[in-house]
Structure 1
Amino acid sequence: MSSEELQRLDEQGMAAWDQHNPDDFVDLFAEDFTFSDVTRPEALRSKDEVRQYMESWFTAFPDMRILSINRVVGDDAVAGEVEFTGTNTGPLVVGGMEMPATGKSVTSTGAYFFSVRDGKIASFSARPDGAGLMEQLGLLPGA
Structure 2
Amino acid sequence: MTEMERQFRRIADDAWSKGDYSVLDETLADEYVSTHYQLEQSFRGIDEYRALIESYREAMPDLTVHIDELVVAGDCVTCRYRVTGTHEGTLRVRGMEIPPTGKSVETPGISIVRFDGDRCTEEYNSPHALGMMEQLGVIPGRADEMGEASA
Give the match for residue 3 of structure 2. 5
Q: How far apart are residue 118 of structure 1 and its match?
A: 2.7
Code of the residue aligned with 2:4 in structure 1: it is L
Per the alignment, in what secondary structure is the counterpart of residue 44 of structure 1? strand
Residue 124 (1) aligns with residue 117 (2): no
Q: How far apart are residue 85 of structure 1 and its match?
A: 1.3
**Aligned CA-pair RMSD:** 1.6
Q: What TM-score do you get using the length of structure 2 for normalisation?
A: 0.85
Equivalences, count? 141
* Structure of greater Rg: 2
Give the match for residue 99 of structure 1. 98
Report matched runs for 1:59-70 at 5 Å: 59-70=58-69
Give the match for residue 149 of structure 2. none
Q: Tell me the distance in 1 between the aligned counterparts of 2:46 and 2:62.
A: 23
Report matched runs for 1:1-143 at 5 Å: 4-16=2-14, 17-141=16-140, 143=144
Code of the residue aligned with 1:87 in structure 2: it is T
Which runs of no fewer than 5 residues in structure 1 stay unpaired? none
Identity %: 30
Q: Which 4+ runs in 1 deviate beyond 3 A?
A: 39-42
Per the alignment, in what secondary structure is the counterpart of residue 140 of structure 1? coil
Q: Tell me the distance in 2 between the aligned counterparts of 1:42 and 1:135.
A: 20
Q: How far apart are residue 93 of structure 1 and its match?
A: 1.2
Name the structure with the higher helix share.
Answer: 2
Per the alignment, in what secondary structure is the counterpart of residue 90 of structure 1? coil
Per the alignment, in what secondary structure is the counterpart of residue 109 of structure 1? strand
Which runs of no fewer than 5 residues in structure 2 stay unpaired? 145-151
Q: What TM-score do you get using the length of structure 1 for normalisation?
A: 0.90
Q: Tell me the distance in 2 between the aligned counterparts of 1:5 and 1:27.
A: 12
Per the alignment, in what secondary structure is the counterpart of residue 25 of structure 1? helix
